[in-house]
Structure 1
């Protein structure tokens, strides 16, 4: 059992609010984490994709009343949307009895339905947390290169061989294309969806150009945008927004797109091993996306993330904005002798961040001039994590 970074936040949430909603992609480890919570504090677990467990909720109010006052874990709860009004009533009933926290742990692998359904019903009664696949601060005992190559999904990262890991990711992609995504009403054939996904992989870290994607696929822009929204809501793609500074410069205003898990990115591009990755044209963009995802996963709740780029080439790969308005600027380099680009200096003059970093694949931390530090990914991830405890 690898202790998940989010465990303490789930336990804290269950002490403070009636319901905690744990979101994240399929196979990220939500069920394992929930069962660990049940081991620690007790609880009843129901998998709502299991006919046997679903049958227990043929009269959901009566069943849940039997367990009112103890933790009930509902896995894939968005599959039964009619539960949310019932949960609201039971939470209010428990409050009147003096039980104000720790009633429900809800698990969901798709944010769009879950948030729409629970938004009104459970407003003010639920805390949302996102469980990512494994990231750099979690004790997997796997080297950084393996985490980058294979990605953070447990079955992929912990596979015995590179080939087994690669095949697991291929199966995962196929399952999403053929089973998961069609559940949400998309009418595109699975092969066309795969082509779009592969196009995104080749454009890793590029700015969104929906018209170009639509033209290459022979479909309309609205369909492309709807499918991109779905991939974002399924926690598979990240749309990193641009930061709009109050400066008299022409800024890039389209978001950047990243396949969130580096292992899925590599599977889409048929990259099986590190040798192939290091010689592939996507290696720099892959490393950049991997760094960005790990830093975002390491930061405290409430932190926001952007990129910054002007038409003149001033650029910050990741701009971290703290809840109090402070800004940290991050440039990502694959070189073992990292030096900031001229565009990074220019962007920092515009944005005026409190701290400036270059993340590179080496192991030492050292200054590179003008207040900029070069450091390994894990070092900056720890700095971000430390901010959680000082906030």
Structure 2
């Protein structure tokens, strides 16, 4: 959204995004399928923003919206088709562990996340519970825009706590494991190490909020978004 990004003030940028949401819901969305109440879709979109990067629980969302699970699934499908929401599927290696098999769901544009939640400037974002998830989704969308052809993106999680924010699968032949941290310095967790043991990726990275690159462990580097995006784009 160049007009929002280049706006003269946070207030103007926020107003542009709020207008975009309203226009999209009231005018554009009805053109793509059966009539869906704009208020219902806005509530769902906002609920997904509150749960940014969470595991999709259509039944829970349906109860909150007083509608059916099938309707919620259809609404989420529509938002995904319109490139407003990303459904990130789990990476499911055959390793004999109990794996989380439901997808994660992100509102793809972090600026729209903030507008849906009424976050109008950086100060409000810094103290908001969604700030970490917003940064994670921003990093994921930035990296996936460089994803090579025939590659796919997933997350990994077991019932025992092993977890990776992003697994890039290069044609089913090799994988890169990626953890995302909002802090300017990176550290690895026990769940990250356990996930590396499970899936044995070719390379592993912890994305952090600066441009510095340095080793954290054997075959694990802390890295900035821009450098990792370049590596993904040129991976063979």
TM (norm. structure 1) is 0.59
User: Secondary structure of the residue that 1:266 maps to in structure 2?
Assistant: helix
CA contact (8 A) 2:211 2:226 kept: no
2:190 is aligned, of 342, 347, 356, to: 342
Distance 1:224 1:267 in 2: 22
Partner of 1:6: none
Determine if the alignment matches structure 1 residue 331 to structure 2 residue 179. yes
In 2: Cα distance, 1:367 partner to 1:332 partner: 15
Please state how far the C-alpha of 1:324 moved relative to its aligned partner. Answer: 5.8
Q: Which blocks of at least 5 consecutive residues in structure 1 are unaligned?
A: 1-152
Tell me the equivalent position of 1:238: 86
Q: How far is 1:386 from its partner?
A: 2.2
Alpha-carbon contact 2:110-2:134 (below 8 Å) kept: yes
Pairs within 5 Å for 1:189-338: 189-323=37-171, 325-338=173-186
The answer on whether the counterparts of 1:258 and 1:289 sit within 8 Å (CA) in structure 2 is yes
Q: Map 1:2-17 to 2 at 5 A.
A: none
Structure showing greater Rg: 1
Q: Where does 1:12-91 land on structure 2 (aligned, <5 Å)?
A: none
Q: Is the 8 A contact 2:153 2:169 kept in 1?
A: yes
CA distance in 2, matches of 1:235, 1:308: 23
Would the aligned equivalents of 2:185 and 2:209 in 1 still touch at CA under 8 Å?
A: no
Task: For residues 72-110 of structure 1, give each alpha carbon's deviation from its aligned partner in whole angstroms, at most 9, with x where no partner exists.
Answer: xxxxxxxxxxxxxxxxxxxxxxxxxxxxxxxxxxxxxxx
Q: Does 1:162 find its partner at 2:1?
A: no
Separation in 2 of the partners of 1:259 and 1:163? 21
| Aligned residues of 1:236 and 1:259 also touching (Cα < 8 A) | yes
Structure 1 stretch displaced more, 319-328 or 247-256: 319-328
Contact 1:242 1:306 in 2 (8 A): yes
Show CA shifts across 1:200-234 (max 9, x none).
00000001100000001101111111110000000
Within the alignment, does 1:357 sit opposite 2:205 as a pair? Answer: yes
Count of residue pairs the alignment pairs up: 236
Deviations 1:17-45 (A, max 9, x none): xxxxxxxxxxxxxxxxxxxxxxxxxxxxx
Please give the alpha-carbon distance, in whole angstroms, between the structure 1 residues aligned to 2:130 and 2:108: 14
2:26 aligns with: 178
Distance 2:6 2:174 in 1: 37
TM-score normalised by structure 2 residue count = 0.97
Are the equivalent residues in 2 in contact too, given 1:198–1:268 (CA < 8 A)? yes
Kept in 2: contact 1:186–1:227 (CA 8 A): no
Q: Quote how far apart the aligned CAs of 1:364 are.
A: 1.1
